């Protein structure tokens, strides 16, 4: 056994409990039969085979004491006088040494939702974050013998991994931030990184992390309003940029079409005025009211 690597699990092969049950029933039936069928001596007393009766009683106790039931995805960790002897994964009615202390361990999937943690992201902004973790016991020997309480150990490590992950990434992408991966924009990649880090933390405890997902992500209340206004401003700037870009393209196309088809001859001053009017019409948030010129182009 290597102390640094943890306790190594040993596969234990138990016996069929149905055969042990049959022996127990036979021993139980044999006890009254031996007593009632005992021969009578010349003095009228029964010669009861005491040793055979005692043997049947001992056999019954041993068979019954050694039987135990295991459901699917359940195992039994067997200890003999505080010494680990192995783990039995066989399901159904089983039998093992009656002196074994049988500790049943569930290897089914377990999950928990962490509490909302208030941490700082990579840029130092306070955020709230929470995660859901799905895990199971893979090595019963390490989970029960190397850890005092694995059910409380995993949530503590998950909280530590979640705090460290939040410090490694920014909440959202900013113009002055060179990182392309963020907590909000890279959900799948961040979840995989969280699962890998948590698995590394619980590797020596016999636990396997099946899945880890972020369930809550938001700015802390004290900066949520300011960050919301910043996001709105960035959205407005982005929309305005696209509108202006589209308007410039449309004005350029209109001037080119007018020139190529010789619809009208415009000097620089009238061209500038037309460009200005078209930009106002195309970029305005409200419907514009056109002014119809009934005179000449230069009136």
For 181-229, what is each residue's pLDDT tens digit? Answer: 788 777 788 889 899 999 999 888 889 999 999 888 888 777 656 667 6
Structure tokens at 120: 């700082």
Distance CA 275, CA 285 (A): 18
pLDDT band at 24 (very low <50, low <70, confident <90, very high): very high
Q: Which of the listed residues 165, 195, 219 is the one where a domain comes to its end?
A: 219
39 vs 3, which has greater pLDDT? 39
Q: Has residue 180 got a pLDDT over 90?
A: no
Is 4 a member of any domain?
no
Per-residue confidence (pLDDT) for residue 170, from 0 to 100: 83
Q: Which of the listed residues 194, 219, 244 is the one where a domain comes to its end?
A: 219
pLDDT band at 2 (very low <50, low <70, confident <90, very high): very low
Distance CA 39, CA 269 (A): 136
Mean pLDDT of 104-130: 87
Is 293 a member of any domain?
no
Q: Has residue 22 got a pLDDT over 90?
A: yes
Mean pLDDT of 170-181: 66
Task: Name the strands in the sheet holding 83-88, side by side, starting at the edge strand that comes first in the sequence.
Answer: 83-88, 74-80, 101-106
Q: Within a 10 A sphere around the Cβ of 227, how many other Cβ atoms?
A: 16
Mean pLDDT of 158-176: 81
Q: Are 170 and 144 in the same domain?
A: yes
pLDDT band at 285 (very low <50, low <70, confident <90, very high): low
Is 294 a member of any domain?
no
Per-residue confidence (pLDDT) for residue 1, from 0 to 100: 41
Q: Are 31 and 94 in the same domain?
A: yes
Mean pLDDT of 111-115: 88
Is 291 a member of any domain?
no
The whole-model pTM stands at: 0.66
Through-space distance between the first and last CA atoms of the chain, rounded to whole angstroms = 101
Per-residue confidence (pLDDT) for residue 279, from 0 to 100: 74
Per-residue confidence (pLDDT) for residue 3, from 0 to 100: 43
Q: Within a 10 A sphere around the Cβ of 189, how many other Cβ atoms?
A: 12
Q: Which of the listed residues 105, 125, 146 is the one where a domain comes to its end?
A: 105
pLDDT band at 135 (very low <50, low <70, confident <90, very high): very high
Q: Are 168 and 233 in the same domain?
A: no
In this predicted model, what pLDDT tens digit does every residue of 35-82 receive, in sequence order? 777 666 656 566 667 788 889 999 999 999 999 999 999 999 999 988
Q: Residue 88: which domain range?
A: 15-105
Strand partners for 6: 2
Taking alpha carbons only, the member of 104, 111, 99, 53 closest to residue 74 is 104
Degrees, nearest 5: CA angle 176-130-115: 140
Most confident option among 33-37, 157-161, 165-169: 157-161
How would you class 87 by CB atoms within 10 Å of its CB: exposed for 0-12, middle for 13-18, buried for 19 or more? buried
**Contacts for 148 with CB less than 8 Å, ≥ 6 apart:** none
Percentage of the residues of the chain whose pLDDT score is greater than 70 = 80
Q: Are 129 and 95 in the same domain?
A: no
Percentage of the residues of the chain whose pLDDT score is greater than 90 = 25
pLDDT band at 136 (very low <50, low <70, confident <90, very high): very high
> Mean pLDDT score of the chain, rounded to an integer?
81
């Amino acid at each position: 056994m290597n102390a640094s690597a943890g306790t190594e699990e040993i596969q234990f092969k138990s016996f069929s409990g149905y055969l042990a049950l049959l022996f127990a029933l036979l021993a139980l039936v044999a006890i009254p039969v031996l007593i009632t069928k005992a021969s009578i001596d010349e003095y009228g007393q029964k010669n009861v085979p005491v040793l055979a009766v005692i043997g049947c009683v001992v056999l019954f106790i041993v068979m019954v004491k050694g039987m135990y039931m295991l459901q699917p995805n359940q195992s039994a960790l067997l200890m003999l006088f505080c010494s680990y002897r192995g783990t039995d994964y066989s399901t159904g009615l089983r039998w093992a040494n009656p002196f074994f202390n049988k500790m049943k361990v569930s290897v089914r999937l377990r999950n928990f939702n962490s509490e909302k943690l208030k941490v700082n992201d990579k840029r130092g902004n306070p955020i709230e974050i929470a995660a859901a973790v799905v895990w199971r016991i893979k090595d019963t020997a390490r989970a029960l013998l190397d850890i005092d309480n694995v059910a409380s150990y995993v949530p503590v490590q998950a909280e530590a991994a979640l705090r460290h992950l939040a410090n490694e990434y920014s909440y959202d992408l900013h113009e002055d931030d060179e990182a392309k991966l963020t907590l909000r924009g890279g959900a799948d990649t961040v979840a995989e990184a969280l699962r890998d880090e948590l698995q590394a933390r619980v590797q020596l405890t016999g636990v396997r992390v099946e899945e880890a997902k972020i369930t809550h992500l938001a700015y802390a209340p004290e900066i949520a309003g300011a960050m919301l206004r910043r996001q709105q401003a960035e959205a407005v700037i982005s929309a305005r940029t696209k509108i202006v870009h589209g308007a410039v393209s449309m004005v350029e196309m209109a001037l080119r079409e007018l020139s190529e088809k010789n619809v009208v001859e415009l000097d620089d001053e009238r061209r500038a005025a037309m460009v200005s009017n078209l930009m106002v019409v195309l970029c305005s948030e409200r419907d514009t009211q056109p002014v119809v010129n009934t005179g000449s182009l230069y009136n």
